Amino acid sequence: MILSVLLMVLILSVYEFMVYRLVSHRAFYNRSFHICIAVLPFFISTIIFSLQSNIVITLGTIGALAILRFRTAIKDPVDMLYLMWSVHIGITCGCQLYELAVLTSLMVTVVMLCFEHIHIGRKPFVLVLHCDAQKEADVTERIAAHTPRYRIKSRNYVGDDLDMVVELSVKDPGELAADLREAGVERSSVIAYDSEDIL
């Protein structure tokens, strides 16, 4: 019974993981949040599973979760996931469902390690460029040729010059930079983006 619950959660979590990345139209996405939404169902489903065993345990758990508050702001969703893991271990072990706690912890460890190494789609970047304002249409066409997902975040016109900042996902930033040089872009910088940090 426990294995069937975990197996079904695994199948649907992997499905959700893939759909979220493929359907998301943003150039940037938070990888930590992506992993978090795929792993949380393991904890929720097995907590619910453990609560089915006894009405007294159910009421006690509801009370315990109601008084649980975090005073420290949690910036990384994966940190939130580890807190949920701790709550899960406490509830399942408190219900004396040790097998459930161990199997869920092992399954979550494997899933997190796998998701950490799965990269779907192209890497996100920030493109900062300077060119003649007359070449804006050609530049955006060349950017669109390299990526289906891009968003112009700012345009700054100074006389005949244009400074532009673009969020995009691209397979080969070097090829894009070379193509932009051919279009007459005087200066360009391609900056890698990783979750919340600009590298």
- 142-194 tens-digit pLDDT: 888 888 778 888 898 888 888 999 888 777 788 888 888 888 888 888 887 65
- The pLDDT value given to residue 16: 83
- The pLDDT value given to residue 67: 61
For residue 187, list its beta bridge partners: 130
The per-residue pLDDT for range 101-112, each reduced to its tens digit, is: 899 999 989 988
Task: In whole angstroms, give the CA distance from residue 149 to residue 22.
Answer: 11
Where along the chain do its domains lie?
A: 2-117, 123-198
pTM of the predicted protein model: 0.59
Residue 198 confidence (pLDDT) above 50: no
The per-residue pLDDT for range 7-17, each reduced to its tens digit, is: 888 888 888 88
User: What CATH code is assigned to 123-198?
Assistant: 3.30.70.260
- Widest pairwise Cα distance in the chain: 74
Residue 129 confidence (pLDDT) above 70: yes
Backbone angles phi, psi at 66, to 5 degrees: -65, -35
The per-residue pLDDT for range 38-92, each reduced to its tens digit, is: 888 888 888 888 777 677 777 777 666 666 665 666 777 777 788 788 888 877 8
